[in-house]
Chain A
Amino acid sequence: MAKNIKLRIWRGDANTGKLEDVSVEANEGEVVLDVIHRVQATQMGDLAVRWNCKAGKCGSCSMEINGKPRLACMTQVANYADDETITITPLRAFPVIKDLVTDVSFNYKKAMEVESFTPPADLKPGAARMQQIDVERSQEFRKCIECFLCQDTCHVIRDHEENKKSFAGPRFFIRIAELDMHPLDMLKNRKQKAQEEHGLGMCNITKCCTEVCPEHIRITDNAIIPMKERVVDIKYDPVRWLGSKIRKREGIV
């Protein structure tokens, strides 16, 4: 059942690069990462690609397949017509290192800027009691495998390098939402900081991030919109506004 398929793979480095056409064998049930590996083993020994688990669990093999941000290990070759050329390019929002590998350090810098989990100071190991229904909201966001496809597709930074400084991106909005909804987190002003320090306001909820999420996390509906609504409430509630000015307190809620 093996057949030959046509791939067009971007090859190059930070300075220069081009699309190269190759023909490669594909077998029943194979995913795009399988055929990339076959190209690597038989035709391009130094073709650079990141991958780890090949089971959709680690989020390493993020790339753009026919222009769509996807995990190569979860993309069936059979999704494409037999005579179709599958074009494979590196993530567009991040600088290329080589071929399909990009420099994703932006995301690690942003992770460092989100204030960490802050449990009650006197919480003893084993003493926490939480209901399943209360942990599930944050658990949804903790499913994130950090593939950064949401970051790649987000139009705030995809073609706007200048926005990167002030915009953390969807991955970190769900991180903030996760901590905000975490039953044991004591830091009270996370939503406001998302707005003021992490660029939540720049998101205009086009839901592109939700569409590409391989974990099907409802990034926009369950994290971004609820945080935006609460921030708006706080900002435009005159009593609260006055209270915050008078007492100069930082915390909300």
Chain B
Amino acid sequence: MSSRKQSSQEDNIMSTAVAEKILLGKTLAIDADGNLVNISDWNEEIAAELAKEEGIEILTEKHWQVINYMRKVYSETGDSPSIRKLTKESGVDTKELYALFPKGPAKKAARIAGLPKPKGCI
């Protein structure tokens, strides 16, 4: 089963594989939002490929600052941070977040970081 369940503190994240895709020769389980199911499938090369799917050709140092922050929060809380949490704590302001990850920074950065979609959108 998914390693995500173990990292989630209170079983608050439930993501189920609904499809598979092949990236860089690896077969990856994908959830209903198109995000990786297994956090262990992720690495920096996969991130670069996922970024391209989101229309981001090159991941800059600023992109990585956000991605690394998201992965840190996820490992501590079992949740992907919302846009508000990103703005407050990632060290990158809202305007710049939207420039880095157009349209939906929290959603896009979570996907590139190999994490589930933030749960604010209910």
Is the A/B pair a real complex? Answer: no
Residues of B with Cβ closer than 8 Å to A? none
